[in-house]
Amino acid sequence: MKNEDKFFNNSIYDEQAAAFSEKQLTDPMQYQEGMEIIDSDIFDKVQTARAAYDYTKYTEADVRAALAHSERTPDDFAALLSPAALPLLEEIARAAQIERQRYFGNNVTFFTPLYIANYCENYCIYCGFNHHNKFDRVILTMEQIEDECKAIRALGPFENLLLVTGENPRAAGVDYIEQTLKVCRPYFNNLTIEVMPLASEDYYRLTQSGLNGVVCFQETYNRANYNIYHPAGMKSKFEWRVNGFDRMGQAGVHKIGMGVLIGLEEWRTDVTMMALHLQYLRKHYWKTRYSVNFPRMCPSEGHFQPNVVMTDRELAQLTFAFRIFDHDVDISFSTREKPSFRNHIATLGATSMSAGSKTDPGGYHTYPQSLEQFSVSDERTPAQVEADIRREGYEVVWKDWDKIFD
């Protein structure tokens, strides 16, 4: 049965997928055995706010009022993100640049991702690593991971490494992640993971083995449509994922990264809910640093086409609004975006970016031709990206944390 919802892409919902969903689909609010239950009201708050949100109600007067405030509320953020703000985009950009300069100066932090496994138990219909996509799966050995670390260090003086796996607790569980952190630690001062959501005790255990940060994408805050995109696997449990950020905070993770996937749902609604979620986390885990990311959906081997297309102008508007709303948040851009856009957005709101990225496991040395999770749009070398950033009048920071502070 095809879904007629405005934001559902029927092109990826074939008979095989439908049959699988009917067989495997479970209640997204029902935890699986072993999943940690915590006391958090963020789910209810976000869903209540989502039901009441209407970005069309904001006017130019609301946008100007938001710009005039010294401290911005979530309602100010929504105004800056509304269509009414687009005619004032240059003025908003100037305000964002002032905030960026005030809190981050002329610095842009560099990092690079290392994909170590593409085994995944989830059936995310938009992802190339989808459990039902037929391709050779890869999980790197510790020796191969060390070779990748050496290859990355040869690309540039990187100190910030993002370790990425598919969500598969059997192939790439906590033991494997912990071993990986110990192998990578001698090569990098700052280690972040983007893996399956974990229990708080597992996050704490990893912090004792060199973990500094965790990135997790909620993908969408639309509870009603969440299981259309994630019909099976651990990721089908909406509340387990949304409460994962609380578990990170409770475990004392130094830095938490958040993001929604632009292309699944109406983007203004999703990012406004993420802003509310961020505000909640800051209140409860105030010692933690935070980052946000707004990846626009790219083609994958699963051939999912975005339901919503965000323009460059709208992505710039989102970046400016977030910089004005939260002065201290790190705004990160990956190599999904084109070089010219990344060069300019770094001067107006973004504060960190990847460089020289490979999105396939072992892509730097071991398996240079394996399947990429998404297409890279910025194929410049780290040195080329650094040179372009310098031409914009900004300085690249390769190291912004030292392991002696762990």
The answer on pLDDT for 29 being more than 70 is no
- In whole numbers, what is the pLDDT of the chain averaged over residues? 88
Least confident of 68-72, 118-122, 155-159, 351-355: 118-122
What whole-number percentage of the chain has pLDDT above 90? Answer: 68
Name the nearest CA neighbour of 157 among 111, 105, 90: 111
Show me where the domains of the chain are located: 13-48+103-405
Average pLDDT over residues 48-53: 88
CA end-to-end span of the chain: 52
* pLDDT band per the 50, 70, 90 thresholds, residue 33: low
Helix 312-325 to helix 74-81 angle (10° resolution) is 160
**Can you give the pLDDT at residue 315?**
97
* pLDDT band per the 50, 70, 90 thresholds, residue 5: very low
Name the helix (H) or strand (E) containing 219. Answer: strand 213-219
Average pLDDT over residues 49-75: 94
Each residue's pLDDT tens digit, 281-318: 999 999 999 999 999 986 544 467 888 889 999 999 99
Name the nearest CA neighbour of 230 among 257, 258, 197: 197
Average pLDDT over residues 76-85: 97
Classify domain 13-48+103-405 at the CATH superfamily level.
Answer: Aldolase class I (3.20.20.70)
Name the helix (H) or strand (E) containing 146. Answer: helix 142-155
Helix, coil or strand: residue 289: strand
330-333 and 190-194 beta bridge pairing: unpaired
The answer on pLDDT for 64 being more than 90 is yes
